[in-house]
Structure 1
């Protein structure tokens, strides 16, 4: 999203809050508000684009069971091939070439790291501006959580 559009959206959200007096923002209501203020809605997506999104969503949910461990694993993985992240193809993990799986795995890891970084910054801010509240502290090392879930599922990971 371009910087100017981001600034316009920020302004629009603040205007919505000011005019409605609401603290909780329903994005569908905000969209209607934006359109009523002359905001141009995005062009509708084509049937092909909608179907492609549905297919990608469904592909993310396809799992198989590992024949040795019984553990379920995700079958289809997205591999981005351009910097914008718009261009991608999908591979079956059981047929994927190593470079494709590396690219897919690192992209997913970056998403997780980015989410954890932003959560940390958000909570640091909330804790700072709410000094009379008990601080919200979230552990960012999820290794114990992963190990616990693996143990609960009875899965043994061989590395």
Structure 2
């Protein structure tokens, strides 16, 4: 069983024992560790620091001369020798190639999320034929313009 499959197994067993109610993953892994279903890993302090730094970089924003708030740091994921690495760079200093890859990867993440969301909604609707189907529109043009409008109102 792969590590992900092991975690999924623990989640499903935890859910079954607790009546399939919404739950926190932390509660499930504590439950699984207490039952010997998974070994608690020894933390690598540098992995923790690197994860914290990635989170901090992802959350750093700046404002340009026109008042537009933008994400300052951008990541590109690269797989070398079967290991995934993430390289960060600062917008405005990063090579064009890095920024192009970062934007393409972020767009692919959004598309992947939309495909999965549409599938999940379709399956839910199929599994609940006695209820009105939940709609899922994936044209975000109006949502983007509305958010920009209201964000601009808040900034003013």
TM-score by length of 2: 0.83
Change (3 A) 1:43 1:12: closer
**1:54-133, aligned counterparts within 5 Å?**
54-67=52-65, 69-82=66-79, 86-133=84-131
RMSD over aligned Cα atoms: 2.3
1:7 Cα shift? Answer: 4.1
Larger mean CA deviation between 42-51 and 90-99 belongs to 42-51
Please list every run of at least 4 consecutive aligned residues from structure 1 whose deviation after the TM superposition is greater than 6 angstroms. Answer: none
TM-score by length of 1: 0.82
User: What does residue 141 of structure 1 align with?
Assistant: 139
Query: What whole-Å deviation, never above 9, does each CA across 1:94-145 have from its counterpart, x for those lacking one?
Result: 1111110111001111111111111111111111111122221121111221
| Alpha-carbon separation, structure 2, partners of 1:42 and 1:143 | 45
Query: What whole-Å deviation, never above 9, does each CA across 1:61-92 have from its counterpart, x for those lacking one?
Result: 2122111x210111110122226673021111
| Equivalent residue pairs, number | 152
Change (3 A) 1:32 1:71: same
Q: Which has the higher contact order (CA 8 A, sep 6+)?
A: 1
* Partner SS state of residue 93, structure 2: coil
**Residue 35 of structure 2 corresponds to residue 33 of structure 1:** no
1:44 Cα shift? Answer: 3.0
* Partner SS state of residue 75, structure 2: strand
1:43 Cα shift? Answer: 1.9
Q: Please, which runs of 5 or more residues in structure 1 have no aligned partner?
A: none
Change (3 A) 1:153 1:10: closer
